[in-house]
Every structure is written in C-alpha cells, then in structure tokens.
Amino acid sequence: MALFEDVTLGSVASSTLLGVGLLVAAPLLLPVAGAVVRPVVRLAVRGGVAAYDAVADLVTTAGEELNQMVADVRATATTVPMADVAPYIICSEGTSA
C-alpha cells in the first residue's frame, strides 16, 4: 500500500481522482490487456499439456522396460539351479549357505 500512497501523495482528493480515472479508463484498458494476456495464457496451457504428454509417455516406457526386466529375471531365476546360487548367499557370521 505504500506505493499507492506514494502515487497519491497521501491526499484524499488525489486518491479519489485516481480512482475515478481508473474507473473511466478500465473499459478501454481491459480489452487491450486481455488481447495481450490471452495468447500468453494459451501458450502456457499448451506448454503444460505438451509437458504432461511427454512425462506420461516417459512413465509408460519406463513401466514397460521394468516389466520386461522383471520378466527376464523371473525367466532366468527358474532356469538357474539353486545349487549354483546358494554358495553366493552369505549367512550371518560370514558363513555361506
């Protein structure tokens, strides 16, 4: 509010005149401001939608890759005998299984 007080110099008359001037100028200034702001907002929304699509595609691809890795590990786990894996499992006290 200090900025508004600096513009009006703290006078009631100048504050009133500024308010009336803005009230008269608003119908002329708002369409111009809308014409400038609307393309910027549309561009921001379009960018947000593009970012969402890119992230959704990335998540889908990552999920498919993870599913493929899990399927590969499960297929490998069923073909490798447990006797080959067991010596590498470390139990407590540093002994192997």
44-79 pLDDT tens trace: 999 999 999 999 999 999 999 999 999 988 887 766
Residue 89: count of CB within 10 angstroms of its CB: 9
Q: CA-CA distance, 73 to 45, in Å (whole number)?
A: 42
Q: 28 lies in which domain range?
A: 2-94
pLDDT of residue 29: 84
Using pLDDT thresholds of 50, 70 and 90, give the confidence band for residue 91: low
Specify the number of domains making up the chain: 1
Q: What token pair was written down for 20? A: 């009336």
Which CA distances in Å does 34 have to 9, 42, 54?
Answer: 30, 12, 30
The pLDDT score that the predictor gives to residue 44 is 95
Long-range contacts, stretch 82-91, CB < 8 angstroms, 24+ apart: none
